[in-house]
Structure 1
Amino acid sequence: MMKTKTKTCTLFCLVSFYFVLNALHVLSASKSNAVSYILSCGSASNEADPDGRKWGPDTQYLVSQANSETKGAQYQDPSLPSTIPYMSARIIKSELTYSFKVPGKTRHWIRLHFYPTNYETYLSNNAYFSVVADGVTLLKNFNSSITALALTQSHILREYSLYPSGEVLNITFTPSPDHKDSYAFVNGIEVISMPDLFKRAIMVGFGEESVNTKSSVLQTMYRLNVGGQFISATKDSGLTRQWYDDSSYIYGNLGMIPDIEANRKILYPKDLTGYVAPVDVYRTARALGMDSAVNANSNISWTFQVDSNFTYMVRLHFCELSYTKVNQRVFNIFINNQLAEQGADILIWTGAINVPVYRDYAIYVLGNDNVTITMNPDKSMTPEFYDTLLNGLEIFKLNDTLGNLAGPNPEISKEMEEYDRNWLRIVADAAEREEKKKKEKLIAGAAGGAGAVGLLAVCIVVYTRKKRVLGSECGATSGWLPLYGSWSNSNGKSTTSGKSCSSSTLSSLAQGLCRHFSLAEMKSGTRNFEESQVIGVGGFGKVYKGIVDGGTKVAVKRANPSSEQGLHEFRTEIEMLSKLRHRHLVSLIGFCEENDEMILVYDYMGNGTLREHLYKSNNPQLSWKQRLEICIGAARGLYYLHTGAKYTIIHRDVKTTNILVDDNWVAKVSDFGLSKTGPNLNQTHVSTVVKGSFGYLDPEYFRRQQLTDKSDVYSFGVVLFEVLCARPALNPTLPKEQVSLADWALHCQRKGILQDIIDPQLKGKVNPECLKKFAETAEKCLSDQGKDRPSMGDVLWNLEFALQLHENPNGASLIADERSSRTTGAINSGTNGSHGGESSIDDMSDGLTTSAVFSQLVNPQGR
């Protein structure tokens, strides 16, 4: 018996050893045959990006350079991940081919990088072109400017995977003949050998039928680290892929992120190497949680925009990190509402915890432009917990039967088109004004120069005569100096004024709207951006306390070059705030846009953000009256945005960190970088990409991508509960049902137990009728559908009524009865003010304080 066991063990070891050797042989062979071309197109030398990846020039891979030239980008968007390869480009005026030597029978990545901007006389709007690689059409009539605008991205990366048909891979760029002045361009090209990661995928909706992805050319559409953070190319498992956060694609229930140890060891099986996905993908996940009562009828969905009439492969990555037994977590997977997998149990697939696995599914998308992936517990299997799990997600487009992968350029919303047209018009007008000024200066300079020459001639004549006289008298000689003027040194600074002589398009655009500070003034006022001056940090960058004009306190917001927020938010903030003046809106004093810096300068708000006075700080607790007055001030600011300006303005990022408080405890709404002009009279909403802060996002806006002023009302409802309960909008450390403040507060309000979750500092200090009115107002703001929410005018009235109930319970109800008889007063006069052009509107309620009875509101709907 022992001998048999020994023989079996020996045989097993030999077989295992054989497989290891075979795997090492394959790996070493693939490495020896591997190629890696990483080209910065238009660059003349080798350069490294911030990740340390080296990019070489592209000239030696061109079949011919006769029909192309190199150009540098005229402007660097702050949200670009790197200047390399994006600030140089190969401009292609007629068909041009890159040729690469590659090993046969090996799959390769092809990555194309595009930065849509103007390259001297080559305008980005004219760049329509096609790209063909090894006979497969990757792009057709492609315009990266339209694509970037529709996707609100600064640059475009297209990634493909294919088997070259031979040992030479050709990539050909061709300007589109259907567009006048069209040209092609490319900033970066990568051709990198890769292992074959694709086999067969189950065709969803067709029984056991499958698609052979091994022989297909694939385009990477999405690659997500579910429940985790961005994974850069250098942290991928040797394949230089980028894995993005999944939160922007979740539809409805956000699910939860299990608490997993960061150093959890992932045990790859022998048939699955780290090339499939890096360990960081399998160490994070998103799930429903262990509360079966809540999860029984719940699901998690992700939705993605794609091109119709193509087949897509959906790869789902799994790794069981918590449960240890079969039938503890069993779930169903749906793709586009079709059952892809029933009774999925990760432990049945892997046999052990911490072992990764993936499943491939194929779906043909016909007549729509979305792929939706939904997971819910499989109750029919009666698992121990009603739960789901997903660690990573990839979506690839497969070429069609004609060898085509190209889809149409995305459609830009009418609002985005109008914005783009308006912006281009404003920039053109600004450039025209700048050119006019230059001509006027040139004419004036010429006239002045002529006068100076004449004066100089007279001086020379007089001097010569004097010299002759003096020389004849004493034999003395002397020299002369030119007339003094304003001379500029090599760095563009005036020697007399010390200010920059240069002017950017953005600076010209903002002239007349707000003040333009020099970078020297900003450095001086913030002690060269010293860390001790930092008073806040946000998505845009750090905020510093500063001094200008010898003693005026200001808040200086400096853009972080690596921030996701960039030029668009910078422009929006200037354009919005420079035209608005209101007691409850933070005033923009000016900006600085110099040496690639983007800096905004505001009034200094001595008491910081509202959140700082609610929790997680050492500040004294606010009284209930102070909290009410701050909420009323913020509501007045939002009401003005919705109804008091020339156009409806939707803030889109209302939260307690964007409500600031000055030295006199006056609340002001801040941060207009995400603001949008609202719908016109013939529209009900604005269709736009979802932006904002999780925990405050209007669920209807999130689901339908339709923005209205009621989206601000929802966010403000979360703020009201945050003020009442003194806790964050999202707190992942709490039990699942309590993570979202909005959901938990609504649950407690409807159960009649709201008193249990309010700030302990307030208990016994709030008039019950006042609390009831305040909570009812917050509850209505959080209605699931926008049509059921109050207007901001109604919210304002209810809050002021709640204040009266707190201060004067008996008199408040009498005042409420008089509401219908009030006149419009200050609001109407404010709305019909002089805001038609670039002028400002004064605060419609400047004369009203929170101790006044009510803002005189009869028709709070505004326009």
Structure 2
Amino acid sequence: MKCKIQIFLWAILTFPCTIITLDDHPLLLDCGANLESTDSSGRKWIPDSRFLTTNNHSLSSTAKSQDPSLPSTVPYMQSRIFKSQSTYTLPISPTSRHWLRLHFYPTSYAAALDPAAALFSVSAAGLTLLHNFSAAITAQALTQAYIIREYSLTTLNSPLLHLTFTPDPDHDRPNAFAFINGIEIIPIPEIFPPEYYSRAMQTMFRLNVGGRFIAADEDSGLTRTWHDDSPHIYGAGFGVTTRAGAGVAYPSRESRLAAPPDVYLTARSMGPNSTLNLNYNLTWILDVDANFSYLVRLHFCDFFFGKVNQMVFLIFINNQTVETDADVAAWAGGKGVPVYKDYEVRQNGHNQLWLALHPNVESKPQYYDSILNGIEVFKLNDTKGNLAGPNPIPSLKKDMSQDATATKFPSRSRKKSRLIVILASLLASVAVLVGLIAACFKQSSKGGAPWLPIYGGSSSSSQISSRLGEGLCRHFSIGEIRAATHGFSEACVVGVGGFGKVYRGCIDGNATEVAVKRANPSSQQGLHEFLNEIELLSKLRHRHLVSLIGACEENNEMVLVYDYMANGTLREHLYNINLNGNKGWSDHLSWKQRLGICIGAARGIHYLHTGAKHPIIHRDVKTTNILLDDKWVAKVSDFGLSKARHALDQAHVSTAVKGSFGYLDPEYYRRQQLTDKSDVYSFGVVLFEVLCARPAIDAGRPREQLCLADWAVASYRKGAMEEMIDPSIRGEINAECLKRYTETAVKCLSEDSIDRPSMGEVLRNLEHCLKLQSGGEEEEQHSVNDAAFADVLETQGR
């Protein structure tokens, strides 16, 4: 059903002038505490007992353990527990809008109550905020230790807010109880348009696009928390992140409340290559609750252009066009002036909100690009006064049933969609990322390098220098790197990844062409990934692994230098996108070429699993990490997330879930245990991507075709593989070859890792496919015998 989108333009120049003074102090309750306390940000919290109007069946309890990811002991280590309906009566400013924040830490408390039995509802101001809510299930699903729910409420001139907690027992939890660790009431000005003055909202997302995590105490007195946007970006289209060199030109005092300066000082754009920009959308995927309306607020501040029609782009929400001529300079009235726009969208039956930007060709702007600085998404209460959504799907840990003290969660079918698992894994990374970046920037604010503390501060520098000093690879000076890339010129950019930009350059008097990967200070990858690349690649030598030449660590820069791959990535050729110039690749890859590339990549991964001195799990196998040299030899790249198994349990590796959207092994996510079969699963997605020439996740397709892995397996079982094949190669494939190839790919995507083949078996099957395709003729360059590789060098120490 087509969504009806109501569009509202609210430039900061017309920001509401009625402002509640910030002299109205917030009310912070440390629930279950006996004394006043202070959190890690210096904010004072008071005991909650005197605000309870019905507390005959409540008790206070102390957490038995402190999770290291908690931002502070206050308010999380004390809890107020309710065994029957109980109400807080809270004094508020009668004419103000307020943030209401509820803090939950589902863990074992001294009261000996199972946190999994906590099932309850919360209501306030005539609204249902939570219904049948399980903080334990939610925390488990998101792999977070604690949960914060933020609401924006208007009080209709009442000086009191009644906040009620009601246990909701069911047949699985007859002894259900409610609990709360902390309550915040923050008076704020009316920051929403008049149409929303009487509406209540739940904050779903607040993202600093292209920038760092912003803690609550850095946000204009409104105590909003802004998170990194990169975990929500679709596919490999990360674009380019930039930071302004000048300050924000707020047009008025009121406009400063829209967002803090750091939101407007950083941005994400599509990049300098206009041809490339026309071939993709800058897209974010945001998980929301279905069957609610949402207010989507987009923040813009253009520091590049100050004239009308220099950059014009389209804005899509859920594949519907909401702006055809987005021109930030025209909206803001000048360069560096912030502006925001509001859109209302209805989510009928869908729990994903898609936001996309694309250059507007018809307007004939000077530059084909788009830009965004911030995203806020607010859920609006429905006609029944409801804001409550369902509990998310929990992840299942293998050892949970074996731990008598572990929280028990309801079982879930193992046949849940891979797509749901993959999307949940993105949210799982947010809590870890928030804690890391928040801590790092607190250090940064006290002085020192502007962004190196993300990677560990001064100790990071010594670690890098120590590794380079060990002679693991060549040590470049920053002067050599700048000379090689013409001062990190945008004209030299050939790609952008999770670590940062990749530049094409020349070293040694232009005698050697190289690829230079420069760390981005706002990247979610850092010191660990940098050292991991040096540690692994300096010890690995194989024809089908990219070669590391050297590294640089100077002036707060972290740079890796590789052999240059003239033919780019496998993905570029599958979709005819050339990141190295302004034109697409002239010819498509033949089926035989694709087979050869898959065989080369399989050899590289197989070598990692079995041929290296210590087995290595790549953990990020995808078509953008398979590079092609000038002779079309495939080389596996990007080892920042890789894991060596020699220091860990040989049966499995327990690790935080990491990987790429669309390629992630669902069993790895469920059990959070990494094995080499996770690489096999990802490679299975690559095999179908090569056969079908379509992305692992394609938002433009029907729901059943959205996830390539699910669609391919379903089509194979229905005998309908023919319709999936890339039309450009459909007539080239030998029938027996196709049968063997698809059988291999489907086995790689088996739900259970035990049913998947090893990479050695995958390699042998692919080599047999090539024989079938070639009519049984053996080709020297694709010999089955790995020992025949004359160009495979021994690893260090072998």
* Alignment coverage as a number of residue pairs: 518
Aligned partners of 2:38 and 2:45 also within 8 Å: yes
Rounded Cα–Cα distance in structure 2 between residues aligned with 1:377 and 1:266: 25
User: Is 1:142–2:136 an aligned residue pair?
Assistant: no
Instruction: Give the 5 Å matches for 1:239-388.
Output: 239-261=222-244, 264-270=246-252, 272-388=254-370
Q: In the superposition, relative to structure 1, how do residues 112 and 296 fare at CA in structure 2: closer, same or farther (>3 Å)? A: same
Corresponding residue for residue 410 of structure 1: 392
Corresponding residue for residue 589 of structure 2: none
Q: Secondary structure at the match of 2:246?
A: coil
Residue 616 of structure 1 aligns to which amino acid in structure 2? A
Residue 133 of structure 2 aligns to which amino acid in structure 1? F
Displacement of 1:42: 1.4
Corresponding residue for residue 72 of structure 1: 62
Rounded Cα–Cα distance in structure 2 between residues aligned with 1:610 and 1:319: 41
Q: In the superposition, relative to structure 1, how do residues 401 and 38 fare at CA in structure 2: closer, same or farther (>3 Å)? A: same
Corresponding residue for residue 759 of structure 1: none
Aligned partners of 1:257 and 1:284 also within 8 Å: no
Which of 371, 380, 399 aligns to 1:423? It is 399
Rounded Cα–Cα distance in structure 2 between residues aligned with 1:630 and 1:298: 26
Aligned partners of 1:303 and 1:372 also within 8 Å: yes
Q: In the superposition, relative to structure 1, how do residues 56 and 533 fare at CA in structure 2: closer, same or farther (>3 Å)? A: same
Structure with the higher helix share, 1 or 2: 1
Rounded Cα–Cα distance in structure 2 between residues aligned with 1:49 and 1:133: 26
Q: In the superposition, relative to structure 1, how do residues 798 and 401 fare at CA in structure 2: closer, same or farther (>3 Å)? A: closer
Corresponding residue for residue 95 of structure 1: 85
Q: In the superposition, relative to structure 1, how do residues 686 and 190 fare at CA in structure 2: closer, same or farther (>3 Å)? A: same
Residue 234 of structure 1 aligns to which amino acid in structure 2? D
Aligned partners of 1:650 and 1:709 also within 8 Å: no
Corresponding residue for residue 224 of structure 1: 207
Corresponding residue for residue 112 of structure 1: 102
Rounded Cα–Cα distance in structure 2 between residues aligned with 1:53 and 1:429: 33
Divergent runs of 4+, >4 A: 529-537, 617-624, 629-634, 649-655, 657-663, 668-672, 687-692, 712-716, 794-800, 812-819, 848-855
Which of 679, 682, 699 aligns to 1:711? It is 682
Displacement of 1:707: 7.2
Residue 32 of structure 2 aligns to which amino acid in structure 1? G
Corresponding residue for residue 187 of structure 2: 193
Q: In the superposition, relative to structure 1, how do residues 634 and 64 fare at CA in structure 2: closer, same or farther (>3 Å)? A: same
Rounded Cα–Cα distance in structure 2 between residues aligned with 1:152 and 1:81: 15
Aligned partners of 1:285 and 1:391 also within 8 Å: yes
Q: In the superposition, relative to structure 1, how do residues 377 and 620 fare at CA in structure 2: closer, same or farther (>3 Å)? A: closer
Rounded Cα–Cα distance in structure 1 between residues aligned with 2:97 and 2:161: 11
Aligned partners of 1:398 and 1:405 also within 8 Å: yes
Q: Which has the higher contact order (CA 8 A, sep 6+)?
A: 2
Aligned partners of 2:90 and 2:161 also within 8 Å: yes
Aligned partners of 2:237 and 2:280 also within 8 Å: no
Aligned partners of 2:99 and 2:152 also within 8 Å: yes
Corresponding residue for residue 50 of structure 1: 40
Q: In the superposition, relative to structure 1, how do residues 532 and 850 fare at CA in structure 2: closer, same or farther (>3 Å)? A: farther
Q: Secondary structure at the match of 2:141?
A: helix
Q: In the superposition, relative to structure 1, how do residues 634 and 290 fare at CA in structure 2: closer, same or farther (>3 Å)? A: closer
Rounded Cα–Cα distance in structure 1 between residues aligned with 2:682 and 2:259: 38
Residue 197 of structure 1 aligns to which amino acid in structure 2? I
Rounded Cα–Cα distance in structure 2 between residues aligned with 1:814 and 1:659: 31
Rounded Cα–Cα distance in structure 1 between residues aligned with 2:562 and 2:267: 39
Displacement of 1:215: 1.2
Corresponding residue for residue 236 of structure 1: 219
Aligned partners of 1:650 and 1:712 also within 8 Å: no
Q: Secondary structure at the match of 1:401?
A: coil
Aligned partners of 2:665 and 2:681 also within 8 Å: no
User: Is 1:170–2:141 an aligned residue pair?
Assistant: no
Rounded Cα–Cα distance in structure 2 between residues aligned with 1:132 and 1:530: 45
Displacement of 1:183: 0.4
Corresponding residue for residue 707 of structure 2: none
Q: In the superposition, relative to structure 1, how do residues 798 and 153 fare at CA in structure 2: closer, same or farther (>3 Å)? A: same
Q: Deviations over 1:282-332 (max 9, x none)?
A: 001111123222222321111111111111000000111101211011111
Residue 177 of structure 1 aligns to which amino acid in structure 2? P
Which of 130, 140, 147 aligns to 1:156? It is 147
Residue 53 of structure 2 aligns to which amino acid in structure 1? V
Q: In the superposition, relative to structure 1, how do residues 188 and 288 fare at CA in structure 2: closer, same or farther (>3 Å)? A: same
Rounded Cα–Cα distance in structure 2 between residues aligned with 1:531 and 1:711: 36
Q: In the superposition, relative to structure 1, how do residues 351 and 622 fare at CA in structure 2: closer, same or farther (>3 Å)? A: closer
Q: In the superposition, relative to structure 1, how do residues 631 and 305 fare at CA in structure 2: closer, same or farther (>3 Å)? A: closer
Corresponding residue for residue 29 of structure 2: 39
Instruction: Give the 5 Å matches for 1:809-820.
Output: none
RMSD over aligned CA atoms reads: 5.1
Identity, in percent, stands at 39
Q: In the superposition, relative to structure 1, how do residues 334 and 620 fare at CA in structure 2: closer, same or farther (>3 Å)? A: closer
Q: Deviations over 1:512-563 (max 9, x none)?
A: xxxxxxxxxxxxxxxxx999899859xxxx9xx9xxxxxxxxxxxxxxxxxx
Q: Deviations over 1:627-667 (max 9, x none)?
A: xx9997973453699xx99xxx994589535668999xxxx
Q: In the superposition, relative to structure 1, how do residues 271 and 345 fare at CA in structure 2: closer, same or farther (>3 Å)? A: farther
Rounded Cα–Cα distance in structure 2 between residues aligned with 1:98 and 1:173: 9
Q: In the superposition, relative to structure 1, how do residues 122 and 660 fare at CA in structure 2: closer, same or farther (>3 Å)? A: closer
Q: Deviations over 1:251-291 (max 9, x none)?
A: 13534335333x52111123852111000000011111232
Corresponding residue for residue 116 of structure 2: 125
Residue 188 of structure 2 aligns to which amino acid in structure 1? M
Displacement of 1:342: 1.4
Corresponding residue for residue 759 of structure 2: 792
Aligned partners of 2:619 and 2:641 also within 8 Å: no
Q: In the superposition, relative to structure 1, how do residues 218 and 661 fare at CA in structure 2: closer, same or farther (>3 Å)? A: closer
Corresponding residue for residue 550 of structure 2: 615
Q: Deviations over 1:786-821 (max 9, x none)?
A: 98x997327877999xxxxxxxxxxx97796675xx
Residue 377 of structure 1 aligns to which amino acid in structure 2? P
Rounded Cα–Cα distance in structure 1 between residues aligned with 2:37 and 2:243: 39
Larger Rg: 1
Q: Deviations over 1:103-158 (max 9, x none)?
A: 21110110000111122311111000000011111001100111111122221110
Q: 5+ residue gaps in structure 2? A: 1-13, 408-455, 471-531, 540-547, 554-558, 565-599, 622-636, 688-744, 750-755, 768-777
Rounded Cα–Cα distance in structure 1 between residues aligned with 2:536 and 2:679: 25
Residue 156 of structure 1 aligns to which amino acid in structure 2? I
Displacement of 1:355: 0.5
Displacement of 1:57: 1.6
Q: Deviations over 1:405-446 (max 9, x none)?
A: 01111123xxx33x2xx4232212999xxxxxxxxxxxxxxx
Aligned partners of 1:659 and 1:670 also within 8 Å: no
Q: In the superposition, relative to structure 1, how do residues 238 and 659 fare at CA in structure 2: closer, same or farther (>3 Å)? A: closer
Rounded Cα–Cα distance in structure 2 between residues aligned with 1:709 and 1:631: 9
Deviates more, 1:390-399 or 1:401-410: 401-410
Aligned partners of 2:270 and 2:369 also within 8 Å: yes
Rounded Cα–Cα distance in structure 1 between residues aligned with 2:190 and 2:131: 27
Displacement of 1:36: 0.6
Aligned partners of 1:331 and 1:388 also within 8 Å: yes
Q: Deviations over 1:479-525 (max 9, x none)?
A: xxxxxxxxxxxxxxxxxxxxxxxxxxxxxxxxxxxxxxxxxxxxxxx
